[in-house]
Amino acid sequence: MTIITLAQLSADLDAGKVSSTELTQEYLQRIDASEHNAFISVDQELALTRAKDADAKRANGESSPLLGVPIAQKDIFCIDGTQTTCGSKILENFIAPYTATVVSNMHDHGVVSLGKTNMDEFAMGSSNETSHYGNVVNPWSSKGATLVPGGSSGGSAAAVSAQLAPAATGTDTGGSIRQPAAFCNLTGIKPSYGRCSRYGMIAFASSLDQAGPMTHTAEDAAMLLNTMVGFDSKDSTSLDVPAEDYTTQLNDSIEGLNIGLPKEFFGEGLKPEIATLIERAVKEYESLGANIKEVSLPNSHLALPSYYVIAPAEASSNLSRFDGVRYGYRTEEYTDLVDMYTKTRSEGFGDEVKRRIMIGAYALSSGYYDAYYSKAQKLRRLIANDFNDVFKECDVLMGPTTPSTAFSAGSNSDDPVAMYLNDIYTIPANLAGLPAASIQAGFTSAGLPIGLHIIAPYLQESKLLNVAHQYQKVTDWHTLSAPGASAHNVGEKA
Ligand code: GLN
pLDDT in tens, 235-261: 999 999 988 999 999 999 999 999 999
Is the pLDDT reported for residue 95 higher than 90?
yes
Mean of the per-residue pLDDT values of the chain: 96
Q: Which atom of ligand 1 is nearest to the CA of 177?
A: 8
* 188 pocket-lining for ligand 1 (C-beta < 6 Å): no
Dihedral class, residue 128 (left if φ above 0, else alpha if ψ from -120 to 50, else beta) = left
Q: Which atom of ligand 1 is nearest to the CA of 179?
A: 1
State residue 494's pLDDT score.
34
State residue 2's pLDDT score.
87
Q: Which atom of ligand 1 is nearest to the CA of 175?
A: 8
**pLDDT confidence bin for 439, thresholds 50/70/90:** very high
Dihedral class, residue 239 (left if φ above 0, else alpha if ψ from -120 to 50, else beta) = beta
Determine which one of 127, 156, 176, 486 is catalytic: 176
- Architecture of the domain whose range is 1-494: Alpha-Beta Complex (3.90)
Is the pLDDT reported for residue 45 higher than 90?
yes
Is the pLDDT reported for residue 406 higher than 90?
yes
The reply to whether the predicted model has a pTM over 0.85 is yes
Beta-carbon neighbour count of residue 347 at 10 Å?
14
Residue 369: Cβ-neighbour burial (10 angstroms; 0-12, 13-18, 19+): middle
The alpha carbon of 174 and the centre of ligand 1 are apart by a number of angstroms equal to 5
Question: Any catalytic annotation for residue 152?
Answer: yes
Summarised one tens digit per residue, pLDDT across range 310-331 is 999 999 999 999 999 999 999 9
The alpha carbon of 152 and the centre of ligand 1 are apart by a number of angstroms equal to 6
Q: Best substitution site from 129, 152, 319 to test ligand 1's pocket, by max atoms within 8 Å of Cβ?
A: 152
State residue 339's pLDDT score.
98
Q: Closest Cα to atom 5, ligand 1: which residue? A: 174
Arithmetic mean of pLDDT, 183-193:
98
Q: Best substitution site from 173, 177, 183, 304 to test ligand 1's pocket, by max atoms within 8 Å of Cβ?
A: 173
Residue of higher predicted confidence among 485 and 157:
157
Q: Best substitution site from 74, 75, 76, 124 to test ligand 1's pocket, by max atoms within 8 Å of Cβ?
A: 124
* 55 pocket-lining for ligand 1 (C-beta < 6 Å): no
One-letter amino acid identity for 149? P
Residue of higher predicted confidence among 489 and 119:
119
Is the pLDDT reported for residue 169 higher than 90?
yes
Query: What CA–CA distance (Å, rounded) separates 306 from 376?
Result: 5
Is the pLDDT reported for residue 142 higher than 90?
no
Is the pLDDT reported for residue 62 higher than 90?
yes
Arithmetic mean of pLDDT, 397-406:
97
Is the pLDDT reported for residue 350 higher than 80?
yes
* 27 pocket-lining for ligand 1 (C-beta < 6 Å): no
Is the pLDDT reported for residue 190 higher than 80?
yes
Determine which one of 152, 156, 238, 486 is catalytic: 152
The alpha carbon of 124 and the centre of ligand 1 are apart by a number of angstroms equal to 5
State residue 112's pLDDT score.
98
Q: Which atom of ligand 1 is nearest to the CA of 430?
A: 8
Arithmetic mean of pLDDT, 54-80:
97
Arithmetic mean of pLDDT, 467-477:
98
Dihedral class, residue 293 (left if φ above 0, else alpha if ψ from -120 to 50, else beta) = beta
* 466 pocket-lining for ligand 1 (C-beta < 6 Å): no
* 264 pocket-lining for ligand 1 (C-beta < 6 Å): no
Half-sphere exposure of 493 (CA within 13 A, CB side): 0
* 204 pocket-lining for ligand 1 (C-beta < 6 Å): yes
Q: Which atom of ligand 1 is nearest to the CA of 352?
A: 4
State residue 487's pLDDT score.
60
* 21 pocket-lining for ligand 1 (C-beta < 6 Å): no
pLDDT > 90 fraction of the chain, expressed in percent and rounded: 94
Is the pLDDT reported for residue 484 higher than 90?
no
Residue by residue, what is the 3-state secondary structure of 259-291? EEEEHHHHCCCCCHHHHHHHHHHHHHHHHCCCE
Is the pLDDT reported for residue 23 higher than 70?
yes
**pLDDT confidence bin for 493, thresholds 50/70/90:** very low
* 170 pocket-lining for ligand 1 (C-beta < 6 Å): no
* 172 pocket-lining for ligand 1 (C-beta < 6 Å): yes
Query: What CA–CA distance (Å, rounded) separates 409 from 154?
Result: 12
The alpha carbon of 52 and the centre of ligand 1 are apart by a number of angstroms equal to 37
The closest of 288, 280, 328 to 442, measured between CA atoms, is: 280
**pLDDT confidence bin for 301, thresholds 50/70/90:** very high
Is the pLDDT reported for residue 50 higher than 70?
yes
* 212 pocket-lining for ligand 1 (C-beta < 6 Å): no
* 123 pocket-lining for ligand 1 (C-beta < 6 Å): yes
* 481 pocket-lining for ligand 1 (C-beta < 6 Å): no
List the domain boundaries for the chain.
Answer: 1-494
The closest of 94, 171, 157 to 406, measured between CA atoms, is: 157
One-letter amino acid identity for 369? Y
Q: Which atom of ligand 1 is nearest to the CA of 153?
A: 9
Cis peptide before 152 (omega within 30 of 0): yes
Q: Contact, 3 vs 163, CB < 8 A?
A: yes
Cα 407 to chain centroid, rounded: 18
Burial 65-98 (b: 16+ CB within 10 A, else e): bbbbbbbbbbbbbbbbebbbbbbbbbbeebebee
Determine which one of 34, 74, 153, 463 is catalytic: 74
